[in-house]
Amino acid sequence: MPHKQTIPLLKNHHTHPSVFAALRYGLDMSPFDTKEEALAGLEAQNREFNLALGWNNSRYTFSKEDLDRLAPVLICNVSFHEFLVNAPAKEKFSVAYPEVIENIDDTDWVERNLHQILKFIAGASGIEAGDIEGFYRDLALEGAWYAEDKLLPGEKIIGMYKAANCLDRTRLWADMDSFEAMSPESREAVSGIKLFLDGAVGARTAALYAPYLSGETGLLLQTEQGLSGLLKKAAAYGKPVSVHTIGDRSTEQLISVLEGLEKNDRPPEIRAEHCQYITPDMAGRAKSLGVVLSMQPNFSEDSLQYRDRLPKGYAEKNNPFRMLIDQAGFVPGQDLFFGSDGPPHGVEYDFKTSLFPPLDSQKLTLEETIAGYCMTGFENGSIDIEVDYEKERVLAEVSLNEK
């Protein structure tokens, strides 16, 4: 018999609401299995500047000729660490965004300047407060009430959050350069500093100890000295840090640097984002340091879709939730939280990837999923879920409270 239960709305601890608000009217490429389907979808776009998301380069890639015959378009890889901009779009924005246009094809530059690309997406799309409000309205209908913005694409977005009355439904994070350029009022609205230590598996830039099957080694974006300085600076501001670290090499760097810092030089809260290939040794040390893990159960699917690039054995190491909970002692809802890092944001997909991942080592119980993914009460609404363990299916009905 399927299990039925009423649960609170979701609390997505890692996504990019302002960017996805800008992309609300863009083309979702995730349903396209072939390049021909994708190109047909792109050709049907008729805006002066077109945005597309959900491209998975493990399925297909595009030639320059494929894209340059289209209207101006920017395509975002599903990992959000690889972008394609065709020649008409480069010509259109070469004056307004010269640095981005000049370097968008440089993998190393992209990983070191992701905040610049997000500013480009937000600015070129003409995002307004109504788009933020619309995104959160859609989010609630999908069963999620709260969504942290893990990298603000510019200070003016804070004003849009205020105008949309959505500041109580998020927690805002900014890169160090953007934060230091902000007004005192905007700094107050920002919850913490976002740091990047590596890239993503989809782009073959996540820093792994072993080379990818195609030979790349990934990118380690900070030296130990540089990371130490950034952590000390965040601590001096009294701000938490959220550290993007996917690979085992970058996760080891974070933990080693933290172990070398005096307690007063550590930020008041340290969140490790993603850490998909964290080892038992790293997990134990992170736990003793008080590091909070913010992870994505949907990234367990990387174990299947990125077997074409991951080093031998790495697909099996991905998202080791059972080790983290059963051995290292991390507790969902206390020092282990969940998010999606992008669409789909709905409860059915989030819970399905949590309860029925590719590997047993990635499986979460329903109680663990609720603890790491849900609000603490029913103030804004509820979800009636039905979990069919035999068919590995999750059904949900969302009920929102009238305000």
What's the pLDDT at 24?
A: 83
Report the candidate in 222, 227, 194 with the shortest Cα–Cα distance to residue 207. 222
Which residue type, as a one-letter code, is found at position 382?
A: S
List the pLDDT tens digit at each of the 403 positions of the chain. 899 999 999 999 999 999 999 888 889 998 999 999 999 999 998 788 999 988 988 889 999 999 999 999 999 988 888 899 999 999 999 999 999 999 999 988 999 998 889 889 888 888 999 999 999 999 999 999 999 999 999 899 999 999 999 999 999 999 999 999 999 999 999 999 999 999 999 999 999 999 999 999 899 999 999 999 999 999 999 999 999 999 999 999 999 999 999 999 999 999 999 999 999 999 999 999 999 999 999 999 999 999 999 999 999 999 999 999 999 999 999 999 999 998 889 999 999 999 999 999 999 999 999 999 999 999 999 999 999 999 999 999 999 998 6
CATH number of 19-106: 3.10.310.70
What distances in angstroms separate CA 366 from CA 38, 46, 49, 325, 344, one per listed residue? 36, 44, 43, 14, 19
In the chain, what are the domain boundaries? 19-106, 129-400
What's the pLDDT at 338?
A: 98
What's the pLDDT at 58?
A: 86
What's the pLDDT at 123?
A: 86
CATH topology agreement for domains 19-106 and 129-400: no
Phi-psi sector, 238: left (phi>0), alpha (psi -120 to 50), beta? left
Sequence-separated (6 or more) residues with CB below 8 Å from residue 326? none
Report the candidate in 49, 48, 29, 46 with the shortest Cα–Cα distance to residue 37. 29
C-alpha to C-alpha distance for 381 and 118, rounded to whole angstroms: 32
Identify the CATH assignment for 129-400 out of 1.10.10.10, 3.30.360.10, 3.40.640.10, 3.20.20.140. Answer: 3.20.20.140
What is the number of other CB atoms lying within 10 angstroms of the CB of residue 360?
7
